[in-house]
Structure 1
């Protein structure tokens, strides 16, 4: 599994924006689609809310990639 870090600019980032910002989804539409299909895990649980607020300390897993969110 590939590991990457994402440093927040504010208090949180929406899940769909995180996938796009890290390059794991080529567009916002694709990010929202894979989230809706249940392909994304947040802290080990399937997350289907497209604009779920991801905060520092959380981990997002999608398509063999793990993103650790930093403050």
Structure 2
């Protein structure tokens, strides 16, 4: 599974926002659904909090897609 780098301006971003930015979710309600059903992993561990703060270097996986936070 290849990992795509997604750049952000700040040092952190909330998980729900990142899913939309990275194209892993279509919109906010889709992001919420993915998280609530346990389809999202952060750094290899299931995550159920939409508001989780992600930091540079974190890897988010949904299904067969992965995205890593990098600085812009």
State the TM-score, normalizing by the size of structure 1: 0.91
Work out the CA distance in 2 between the residues paired with 1:61 and 1:17. 14
Q: Match for residue 51 of structure 2?
A: 51
CA RMSD of aligned residues (A): 1.0
Summarize the alignment of residues 1-71 of structure 1 with structure 2, pairs less than 5 Å apart.
Answer: 1-71=1-71
* Structure 1 stretches of 4+ moved >3 Å: none
Structure 2, unaligned stretches of length 5 or more?
Answer: none
Superposed displacement of residue 7, structure 1: 1.1
In 2, Cα distance between equivalents of 1:17 and 1:63? 18
Structure 1: how far apart are the matches of 2:57 and 2:3?
Answer: 14
Query: May I ask how many residue pairs the two structures share in their alignment?
Result: 71
Q: Deviation of residue 2 (structure 1)?
A: 3.9
